[in-house]
Amino acid sequence: MGDAEPVRSAIVLSLNGATTRAIVTDRVEGEPRLVASASVVGRSAVPALEVIERRLGRCVLESGRPISARSVLGDGADAWISVGLPLSRPTVVLVALGGQNFAAELAATAARASPVRVSQLVVDETTSPTVLAQKLNEQRPDLLLLAGLADDAVWRTAFAAVTSAIGDEWRPRLGIVVAPEAIQQHVAAALGEQLELMGVDPGEYAPAEVVRALSAELRAQAVEALRSELEGTFSEQLVDRLTALERAAAFLVRRADQRLVLVDLEQGTTVLWARAEGLATIYRAEQDLGHQALGLAELGSESVLRWLPWSIGDDELLDWLANRVLSPYPVILNERDQFLAAAFVRALLRAVAGEIEQQDVREDITLVALGPWFATLPPALAVLCALDGIEPVPASGLVSIALDEADLLAAGGAIAEFHPGYAARVLERDALLPLAHALVLTGDGVEGAIAVRGELRTGEIVQRFSVPWGSVHVLPFSPGTFAELSVEPESGVRIGGLEAGVALQFTGDAALGWARLGVVIDARGRPLRLPSDPAARMRRLRSWLADLGLSGGAV
């Protein structure tokens, strides 16, 4: 959709699990810019907007309702948009008919990329209609996803089970059928009077198109659930958070040919990989660091404990997760919380990344964008979460890590649904705060031996360095400056995906812009290896933390 009318100002309400953020953009010297962002505890728009009014000295509400056109004095806004996910995300049961098959795989991929809670039932020739009906009645999903290819017997089992299960106490809002056209007709004849149906033939379209169509419908259901929760006041223009983030990611990819990973932990966990060739989104509704924290127990304690620089018991880990679920507004309170949260995030990101089968898509990354939750961590710890959780191996050797502190990616992506030109200019100027440029070393280094030498030049200031294998080194430089980086690895050591021993320079037009930490030389190799002995592993972690200026002692 193009920009129908010139927009001067836009207000986006970002509705998350335990907070609400108001993001205000306006024209500054003619160009759309971020002018304010305010977050309040709780899921209510008016308090966040009242903070905005006090900060800007403008009125944006009248009798608790939005002023829907910007005045010459700056009151109100031309565009009001809400972005988020419903507190109660739609539940989906995916029924894989005939066992795992191509149609079921496409349906599962679409469900993983949608803001829904998914469970799966497998139906084969041994499945009893009575047992299947009982399982459907136990789960009572909002949406029923039937996926399978030609096997008349298992489809008859499904027809009997669904017919038996549907009644006054449970009736799905929608049934989605992923099957050949002939089977869709049989489903319509058997279930059409009991259930609203839509269908997709996986043999008639490219797999990516099937996934897009299914995820679009699942996301539309989530938007309607969010609209019901908002009860009208701020629900006229709604965008689900995943779609908004995908739009923003697509812009970042187009703008500078980036190969991007975006990590968002605002309500559930969203991780998306984007590049010019396409996009892959994975959403986990039941895992985050807020009210879905107990879902992180599924990662297994060992995958989390390996990232802690001090000892803690399994029960303490579970207690920490449970306290986050029980707290009305779970926040990161202290250094101990920060280290625990970072350990869970690394384990979570590694588990999600494992679902991306193509190694080059998973590893060849030039930009990691971290969502606003990461502002609760020290910048160096946020950078470690990205490097350790995703383990990027950029072909060029360099990956930038940036923070979306103001939640502008979701806001800009939401604006782009209605005013794409305006949104593009806001995102280009204000979306991300650079945290670090990380140079990733791979290959066959020797622990403690020099892996790389080089210099960082900012104007007349030159920092010469040599970094041993197995360590991390930080090269800060001043805000408002550009840095030229020259590096020469030892034989056997590679910079990213380059050949061993090949030197690299970032000079002239390729000079590096300022980042909060500066340049981080990650000489730990890929894949990251930690000692199996707990004491040695904790010493190694404390060493890496110290390299980045962080405390690593027990807290």
Write the DSSP symbol of residue 278: E
Is it the case that residue 150 has pLDDT exceeding 90?
no
* Euclidean distance between CA atoms 328 and 313, whole angstroms: 25
Helix, strand, coil percentages, rounded to 5, for the chain: 35, 25, 35
Q: What integer pLDDT is reported at residue 135 of this predicted model?
A: 97
pLDDT tens digits, one per residue of 157-200: 999 999 999 998 999 999 999 999 999 999 999 999 999 999 99
pLDDT tens digits, one per residue of 387-437: 999 999 999 999 999 999 999 999 999 999 999 999 999 999 999 999 999
Q: What integer pLDDT is reported at residue 429 of this predicted model?
A: 93
pTM: 0.95
Residue 68 amino acid letter: S
- pLDDT category at 4 given cuts 50, 70, 90 is low
pLDDT tens digits, one per residue of 76-105: 999 999 999 999 999 999 999 998 899 999
- pLDDT category at 1 given cuts 50, 70, 90 is very low
Tokens standing for residue 423: 């949104």
Q: What integer pLDDT is reported at residue 357 of this predicted model?
A: 86
Give the length of the chain: 555
How many angstroms separate the Cα of 521 from the Cα of each of 249, 357, 444, 469, 514? 26, 27, 16, 10, 15
* Euclidean distance between CA atoms 191 and 179, whole angstroms: 15
Q: What domains does the chain contain, in order, with CATH numbers?
A: 9-77 (no CATH), 91-221 (3.40.50.360)
Question: Nearest 5°: phi and psi at 87?
Answer: -60, -40
- pLDDT category at 341 given cuts 50, 70, 90 is very high
* Euclidean distance between CA atoms 199 and 190, whole angstroms: 14
- pLDDT category at 461 given cuts 50, 70, 90 is very high
CA 179 to chain centroid, in Å, comes to 30
Are 494 and 441 within 8 A, CB to CB? yes
* Euclidean distance between CA atoms 311 and 300, whole angstroms: 16
Mean pLDDT of the chain: 94
Q: What integer pLDDT is reported at residue 2 of this predicted model?
A: 52
Question: Nearest 5°: phi and psi at 429?
Answer: -95, -30
Are 94 and 75 within 8 A, CB to CB? no
pLDDT more than 90, % of the chain: 91
Q: Mean pLDDT over residues 25-51, rounded?
A: 95
Are 452 and 503 within 8 A, CB to CB? no
Q: What integer pLDDT is reported at residue 404 of this predicted model?
A: 98
pLDDT tens digits, one per residue of 193-252: 999 999 999 999 999 999 999 999 999 999 999 999 987 789 889 999 999 999 999 999
pLDDT tens digits, one per residue of 366-394: 999 999 999 999 999 999 999 999 999 99
> Residue ranges of the alpha helices (H) in 166-300?
181-191, 207-230, 241-256
Are 373 and 266 within 8 A, CB to CB? yes
**Token pair 């129908």 in the structure block, residue:** 4
Q: What integer pLDDT is reported at residue 554 of this predicted model?
A: 53
